[in-house]
Structure 1
Amino acid sequence: MMKKNELCSEVTGSVWKIKKQVGEEILEGDIVMILESMKMEIPVIAEEPGTLIELKVSEEDTVAEGQIVAIVESK
Structure 2
Amino acid sequence: MDVRAELTATVWKVVAEVGAAVSAGDELVILESMKMEIPVAAPEAGTLAALNVNEGDAISEGDVLAVIETS
Quickly name the TM-score band, shorter chain normalised.
over 0.9
Determine whether 1:61 maps to 2:57: yes
1:39 aligned partner: 35
AA aligned to 2:3 is L
RMSD: 0.5
Q: Return the offset for 1:66.
A: 1.0
Determine whether 1:49 maps to 2:45: yes
- Paired residue total: 71
AA aligned to 2:22 is I
Q: Return the offset for 1:44.
A: 0.9
Structure 1 consecutive aligned stretches of length 4 or more whose deviation exceeds 4 Å = none
Gapped runs of 5+ residues in structure 1? none
AA aligned to 2:30 is I
Q: Return the offset for 1:11.
A: 1.1
> For residues 29 and 54 of structure 2, what CA distance do their matches in structure 1 show?
10
How high is the TM-score relative to the length of structure 1?
0.92
One of 4, 17, 22 as aligned partner of 1:8: 4
How high is the TM-score relative to the length of structure 2?
0.97
- Percent sequence identity over aligned pairs: 46
> For residues 36 and 61 of structure 2, what CA distance do their matches in structure 1 show?
15
Q: Return the offset for 1:61.
A: 0.3
